[in-house]
Structure 1
Amino acid sequence: MEETDLLQQDQIQLEIDVISTFSLAAQQNAYSVIRNIQVFVPENNQSIYRDLKLKLCGIDGWLGKVEWLIDEVTSGQSVRLPIKELKFPFETLFGLTEEMVLQLDFELIDSEDKIICNKTHKAEFFKLVVASN
């Protein structure tokens, strides 16, 4: 187990911060589901990664796939990627009758279209209920 941990420590890593709950009101107020995205190569990894693509896989009926391109990242570097606004369908968010958990799957793909790293986050979607007097 210790050997596996050491091997994982020198692998390219994804650091992704995703908001845990989201609603139609949050989308209308321009809050992003994604807060931060970074790709990090530890110093003990001497590889040079070129022409990488980070893909947020699509969610049927909710979201099309989203991609970021990374020209190059090398040993000891961290690349912060721009936050892209994800637009979820108004009708779907408005029509929610109960909480729903969506899985956001991120894949880091190399120039040969091989997945070299992946990360999964879950976000809870809910309809904002406004109390009336």
Structure 2
Amino acid sequence: MKWITRVPLSIKEAQNKICNIEDSAWKDSEIKGYKMAVQTSEYAGIKQRWLIIESKIRKQADLEKIIKQVEKQLESAKAKLCKLSKQKYACMADAETAIKKLSDSWKYHQITEIKFQEKPVKATKKDLKELGQIQTKM
């Protein structure tokens, strides 16, 4: 039986086929701004022929959308990183965990260089008083 359907990109094999098309496989279409490539597949045990169609206009629009998403996430990332850098942590491991969690939450960016700076904690009169009480109770 012959039939035509759109292969959803949620299928891993479809993603792989689209990503691995060689430049020589693309052929210009009769319609200006479009090109096509034919790929064979044996998906779900059924031999298939897939026709992949690419539109220059759609591709450009998708790229512009991704650029906007990257820029938007960069601004958000800077703000979150600034907020994170102002927080106080009990130890470097806690700070490193927080940084890794933040970096892992980003789709387009990652933290590649981390610098730690220890800041001495100034003891307040209350802290000294409590310390003195603890020492006298011993």
Asked whether the two chains share a fold, i.e. TM above 0.5, the reply is no
Structure with max Cα Rg? 2
Q: What's the TM-score bracket when you normalise by the shorter of the two chains?
A: under 0.3
The structure with the greater share of residues assigned to strand is: 1
Q: Which has the higher helix share?
A: 2
Instruction: Specify which structure has the bigger relative contact order, considering alpha-carbon pairs within 8 angstroms and separated by 6 or more residues.
Output: 1
